[in-house]
Amino acid sequence: MAKVTFIEHDGLEQVVDIPTGWTLMQGAVQSGVAGIEGECGGSCACATCHCYVDEALVDFLPPPSETEEEMLGCTASERRSNSRLSCQVRVSDALDGIVVRLPEAQS
Ligand code: FES
HEC profile of 24-61: HHHHHHHCCCCCCCCCCCCCCCCCCCEEEECHHHCCCC
pLDDT, position 57 = 86
Residues pairing with 100 in the sheet? 6, 53
Q: For a substitution probing ligand 1, which of 87, 100, 106, 107 has the most ligand atoms within 8 Å of its CB? A: 87
What is the C-alpha to C-alpha distance for residues 57 and 84, in angstroms, rounded to an integer? 11
> Could you state, in chain order, the average pLDDT of each consecutive group of 10 residues for the chain (107 residues)?
97 98 98 97 98 91 97 97 98 95 96
Atom of ligand 1 nearest to the CA of 71: 3
pLDDT, position 9 = 96
pTM of the prediction?
Answer: 0.96
Residues 6+ apart with CB under 8 A from 63: none
Distance 37 CA to ligand 1 centre (A): 8
Distance 88 CA to ligand 1 centre (A): 8
pLDDT, position 86 = 98
Cβ of 42 closer than 6 Å to ligand 1, yes or no, is yes
